[in-house]
Amino acid sequence: MVNTAGLGAIKAAAKLHLGDELPRLQQRLSKVMRCLDDALPSTNAGNGLPIRVFDLPTISAALAASRQLYQKGFYCSAVFFPIVARDRPGIRAMGRANMNQQDIDRFCTAVRVIVGGT
């Protein structure tokens, strides 16, 4: 049985997929991800997905970076084993089609300052 919230999500997803807005949103998301990849190179840049992981040396560094980015208004989760390889802690960021250039620039600056040298 589907609950009311689930039914609303199904209805909204169907409307989006059956309408003409989805290709425009996908193109916009691709543009956002290209901007992020140009400004913040990562090992998974250009992979076609809207998720990027920025490596950090330790789990505690990933947790601290995630907290600091959140305090600046950006939600990025700390990731570590078993989400990523045991020796690859980092922060996970997701692009969104509704990010404007100012959002992207602010985010990239914050990541550079907090993560350092990415």
d(CA 53, CA 26): 20
Residues of the chain with pLDDT under 70: 117-118
Classify residue 63: in a domain, yes or no: yes
Look-up: residue for tokens 């997929």? 17
**What CATH code is carried by the domain that includes residue 60?**
3.90.1150.10
| Confidence (pLDDT) at 1 | 84
> CA–CA separation, 2 vs 114, rounded Å?
42
Q: Domain limits at 71? A: 27-115
Instruction: Provide the 10 A C-beta neighbour count for residue 22.
Output: 13
- pTM for the model stands at 0.81
Say how many domains are in the chain.
Answer: 1
**Would you say residue 104 lies in a domain?**
yes
Contact between residue 65 and residue 77 where contact means Cβ atoms under 8 Å apart: no
> Of 29, 4, 112, which Cα lies nearest the Cα of 68?
112
pLDDT at 117: 53
In a domain, 9, yes or no: no
Furthest C-alpha separation in the chain: 49
Which pLDDT score is estimated for 118? 46
